Structure 1
Amino acid sequence: MSNRRIFSALGDLFTTFGRAIAASRAVEAGGKPRADDLRKLGMDPAVFDRIGRF
């Protein structure tokens, strides 16, 4: 595996982790996560909107 691929994989990992943190902070603050963050994390924003509080 070349260095470029290793750094690219690490960059993708950090980007995904950052999106997860941003989404969780938005939910904890009582807000709605950005639709792009949800899509990149594999969630459908329309379905996420239908999730109620329990």
Structure 2
Amino acid sequence: FLLPTCNGGIVSWLQKYYCKIRSGQCTLIGYLPKEEQIGHCSLSGRKCCRKKK
């Protein structure tokens, strides 16, 4: 069980790692705050988000 740190370092690292293992596919909640939506999420898990530039 992890708690967010004051600077969000642990949360940020987990989000980056999670995005990497997903290969840009949908998360359970759509997409992460540092990502932009490029399509609609579907049950097949097609790519629907990418990192913001």
TM-score normalised to structure 2 length: 0.43
Using CA pairs under 8 Å that are at least 6 residues apart, name the structure with larger relative contact order, 1 or 2.
Answer: 2
TM-score by length of 1: 0.43
More helix by share: 1
Q: Which structure has the larger Rg over C-alpha atoms?
A: 1
Looking at secondary structure, tell me which structure has more strand per residue. 2
